[in-house]
Structure 1
């Protein structure tokens, strides 16, 4: 009886292994949102790792996590590494391609609690009402990754984080757009005031020559 049970269990395991092995290895998870700002505002929030704390859905999971910035200040060559608790783990991101206001491609390396290397992309496209941002992550699952996908809806799990991040990015982008608009209004007002002052000073300097009192010639 035990021999039959073990044989049946072995058969089930073999079938399960076969099912897992034949599942697609490649994956892509993505979400999109329309931000009511120009593309340059949204692009700046992604192209500079120093600004990810304004919108990243994972940045506040561990307030004590260690962050390290290396390479370029922003854009191609910029790198960001993190190490924290079990919720954030340890990993590194490096911008491999940066097309201003169009696209950012990132090499995403997970080091702990598991190892994996994926590609993350952010695409920016002007649309009615602002800028459409498409956030995607793609890669290839190994055997364990395929097995996890059988019992977990990875698209739903990762997609939920992407949606949360895009919502926070929208808030950060709106705040940045407002800040830029206020700075521009201040600049224009300062230029106008300077121009008016210069005009007033020029008028004051010209007034004595144009409006001076004529001196009568003496009577012979």
Structure 2
């Protein structure tokens, strides 16, 4: 019994150490080159409605409830969602727009757990096309920061799906 207790204590100690070493900050980014001019790509992300045309999470709940507010294509343009367990609920608001260069947003998640994140979509001319870099930064409280071990794989799928859909829209 003492040996089992020592093993359990060692596992708990390792988990605590991993949590502390990993820290709370999480950053993810993914890029793609789209064979379309910057202006055309920007037209698909300069408002929350245009963003939601290729937003990968919109497809996870066919009965997703959306509420838009603010002025489309301006800072403060916002949507809130309420959906199934796959998408939860929250709000997504444009915090900065630099025409044909960048969109910055703040995401506030309410369900399945409360969290905030910031995200940027940056456009860079590349030859006859546009390099699109989509990033996200957030902080995950302890012990939720252990999710970072698994988040890159899921983020890669979601961001990859979204960027590929943006590519299809922009190249048509």
What is the TM-score when the length of structure 2 is the normalising length?
0.92
Q: Which runs of 5+ in 1 are unaligned?
A: 176-220
Partner of 1:207: none
For the 8 Å contact 1:31–1:162, the answer to whether it is kept is: yes
Aligned partner of residue 54 in structure 1, secondary structure:
coil
Specify the SS of the correspondent of 2:133.
strand
Pairwise CA distance, 1:7: 4.0
Match of 2:159 in 1: 162
Match of 1:23 in 2: 22
Does structure 2 retain, via aligned residues, the 8 Å contact 1:39–1:126?
A: yes
Q: Work out which of the two has the higher radius of gyration on C-alpha atoms and give 1 or 2.
A: 1
Higher strand share: 2
* Residue 116 (structure 1) aligned with residue 133 (structure 2): no
Instruction: Return the alpha-carbon distance in structure 2 between the equivalents of residues 91 and 78 of structure 1.
Output: 14
Rounded to whole Å, the distance in 2 between the matches of 1:23 and 1:53 is 32
Shifted more, 45-54 versus 82-91: the winner is 45-54
What RMSD, in angstroms, separates the aligned Cα atoms of the two structures?
1.5
Question: Compared with structure 1, are the counterparts of its residues 12 and 174 closer, same or farther at alpha carbon in structure 2 (3 Å cutoff)?
Answer: closer
Per-residue deviation, residues 101-142 of structure 1 (Å, max 9, x unmatched): 011110011111111101110001111131111000112221
Number of equivalenced pairs: 172
Q: Deviations over 1:115-172 (max 9, x none)?
A: 110111000111113111100011222112322234x2x1121011111111100111
Query: For structure 2, which runs of at least 5 residues remain unmatched after alignment?
Result: none
8 Å CA contact 1:34–1:129 kept in 2: the answer is: no
- Tell me if the contact between 2:75 and 2:96 (Cα under 8 Å) persists in the aligned partners: yes
Alignment partner, residue 5 of structure 2: 6
Moved more, 88-97 or 18-27: 18-27
TM-score normalised by L of structure 1 = 0.73
Q: Does 2:138 align with 1:144?
A: no
> How far apart are the structure 2 equivalents of 1:129 and 1:116?
38
